[in-house]
């Protein structure tokens, strides 16, 4: 009985100390580890809570073969009411001083890059289904050494 109670208390403390709740995370594998400009992975999810702030991330997994310190992407959003918007982002992947900024094993590196600036709150204004389409807008085509790209959305909460 005391073991079960201790486990319950520890679980509550662990979960209560978290800053975010995972809501959605999907990646698309890229054939031949090449991201062609006509390959535009799409991610769909439902939002019910429009009162909570969210954090959006682009997920990017690549090998050492990837030849750039960054990647330029365009993120198109289709809102529940059918309206659309498109935003371009330059995502940093490496610096000359530190090398690759993501985590890695061997020659594969993973990045989770926040799209919402630090200190800024992002809210979904409409409840319903959102569709995000991600495409690279780099001059080189295809981008070699890119294994996966994806999107992660976390619902923030106080903690």
pLDDT tens for each residue of the chain, 159 residues long: 554 433 333 333 333 444 455 789 999 999 999 999 999 999 999 999 999 999 999 999 999 999 999 999 999 999 999 999 999 999 999 999 988 899 988 889 999 999 987 778 899 999 999 999 999 999 999 999 999 999 999 998 764
Q: Assess if residue 13 is contained within a domain.
A: no
Could you tell me which of 97, 100, 110 has the C-alpha nearest to residue 70?
100
Q: Model's pTM, two decimal places?
A: 0.83
| Phi, psi (degrees; rounded to nearest 5) at 52 | -95, 145
Provide the CATH number for the domain around residue 64: 2.60.120
How far apart CA 27 and CA 22 sit, in angstroms, is 15
Q: Assess if residue 4 is contained within a domain.
A: no
Residues contacting 100, CB < 8 A, separation 6+: 93, 94, 109
| Number of domains observed in the structure of the chain | 1
Q: Assess if residue 5 is contained within a domain.
A: no
Could you tell me which of 136, 132, 123, 138 has the C-alpha nearest to residue 39?
136
Q: Assess if residue 112 is contained within a domain.
A: yes
Q: Assess if residue 143 is contained within a domain.
A: yes
Q: Assess if residue 15 is contained within a domain.
A: no
Q: Assess if residue 9 is contained within a domain.
A: no
Q: Assess if residue 7 is contained within a domain.
A: no
| Phi, psi (degrees; rounded to nearest 5) at 44 | -125, 140
Full domain range(s) for residue 75: 20-156
């Amino acid at each position: 009985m005391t073991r079960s109670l201790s486990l319950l208390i520890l679980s509550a403390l662990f979960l209560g100390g978290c800053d975010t709740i995972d809501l959605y995370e999907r990646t698309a594998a890229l054939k031949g580890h090449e991201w062609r400009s006509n390959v535009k992975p799409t991610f769909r999810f439902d939002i019910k809570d429009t009162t909570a702030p969210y954090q959006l991330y682009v997920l990017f997994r690549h090998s050492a073969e990837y030849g750039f310190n960054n990647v330029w992407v365009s993120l198109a959003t289709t809102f529940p009411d059918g309206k659309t918007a498109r935003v371009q982002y330059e995502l940093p992947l490496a610096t000359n001083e530190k090398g690759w900024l993501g985590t890695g094993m061997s020659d594969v590196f993973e990045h989770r890059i926040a799209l919402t600036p630090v200190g800024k709150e992002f809210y979904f204004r409409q409840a319903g289904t959102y569709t995000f389409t991600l495409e690279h807008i780099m001059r080189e085509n295809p981008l070699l050494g890119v294994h996966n790209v994806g999107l992660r959305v976390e619902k923030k909460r106080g903690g």
